[in-house]
């Protein structure tokens, strides 16, 4: 049975056993579980079976090489982060690998400590990207597609309403003053425009329905959280 570890399972695809053992040692120290495969076909099967959080993939595998493994994963819409390991210190090879969907690469000989750090960095970037789908309470906001759902219903928002809601939802629980919201969303400083924030919040609450995730903090401003009071 393969242990996923505290941070998830990393699939290491490498036919040099000594490299596998060294890389696995450092990844396990970082809290990852490690599964090793030595060829491309076995790697594809392992991805389907174990759903790793990241793949450390040797480019120069026997048979189905690492480039083709990555190509097949991306063609199947599998976005598991891939970090290439290559003995080819050739810019063309590296660019090709990144263009087909690899997330990073290291060149042999490499520091296993650096490789483990790069795996952590790739996962941090992936998690940051995932934050472009924001969820607070019953509201789900897709930043890239600029779509909002409250429960099962899609909600139609103006561009400014969307930007205001996204700003609040990016840091759930944080209280923003009206001045801060004016600056971040509208791009100008406080003044006569402060009432604008209140009007847009009121419109958002009507459109999102109850319970609204937007909470009023009297005398301060607004926050988005699970306990939004709808007022």
In this predicted structure, what is the pLDDT of residue 27?
Answer: 96
The pLDDT of residue 143 is 85
Q: Choose the final residue of a domain: 78, 106, 130.
A: 130
Residue 12 pairs in a beta bridge with 36, 56
DSSP E strand stretches across 24-102: 33-37, 54-58, 82-86
Residues 110, 114, 120, 124, Cα dihedral to 10°: -100
What pLDDT is stored for residue 1 in this prediction? 42
Domain that holds residue 160: 133-224
Residue 230 lies in a domain: no
| End position of a domain, from candidates 104, 130, 156 | 130
What pLDDT is recorded for position 90?
Answer: 63
Q: Which residues of the chain carry a pLDDT beneath 50?
A: 1, 92, 190, 192, 231
Instruction: CATH number of the domain at 144, please.
Output: 1.10.10.10
With the C-alpha atoms ordered 110, 111, 114, 115, is the resulting torsion angle positive or negative? positive
Q: What is residue 122's predicted lDDT score, i.e. its pLDDT?
A: 82
Same domain, 155 and 124: no
**How many domains, in total, are found in the chain?**
2
- Domain match, 111 and 193 both: no
pLDDT at 192: 46
Q: How far is it, in rounded angstroms, from Cα 196 to Cα 206?
A: 16
pLDDT in tens, 16-74: 999 999 999 999 999 999 999 999 999 999 999 999 999 999 998 988 999 999 999 98
pLDDT of residue 89: 61
pTM, to two decimals: 0.58
């Amino acid at each position: 049975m393969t242990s996923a570890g505290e941070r998830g399972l990393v699939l290491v695809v490498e036919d040099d056993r000594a490299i596998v053992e060294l890389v696995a040692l450092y990844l396990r120290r970082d809290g990852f579980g490690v599964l090793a495969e030595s060829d491309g076909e076995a790697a594809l099967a392992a991805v389907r079976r174990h759903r790793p959080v990241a793949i450390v993939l040797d480019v120069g595998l026997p048979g189905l090489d690492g480039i083709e493994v990555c190509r097949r994963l991306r063609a199947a819409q599998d976005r598991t982060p891939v970090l290439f390991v290559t003995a080819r210190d050739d810019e063309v090879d590296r660019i090709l690998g990144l263009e087909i969907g690899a997330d990073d690469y290291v060149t042999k000989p490499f520091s296993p400590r650096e490789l483990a750090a790069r795996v952590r960095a790739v996962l941090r970037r992936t998690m940051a990207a995932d934050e472009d789908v924001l969820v607070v309470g019953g509201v789900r906001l897709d930043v890239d597609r600029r779509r909002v759902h409250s429960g099962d219903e899609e909600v139609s928002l103006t561009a400014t309403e969307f930007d205001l809601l996204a700003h609040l939802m990016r840091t759930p629980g944080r209280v923003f003053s009206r001045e801060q919201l004016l600056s971040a969303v509208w791009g100008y400083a406080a003044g006569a425009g402060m009432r604008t924030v209140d009007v847009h919040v009121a419109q958002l609450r009507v459109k999102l329905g109850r319970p609204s995730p937007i909470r009023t903090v009297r005398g301060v401003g607004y926050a988005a959280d699970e306990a939004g009071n709808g007022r």
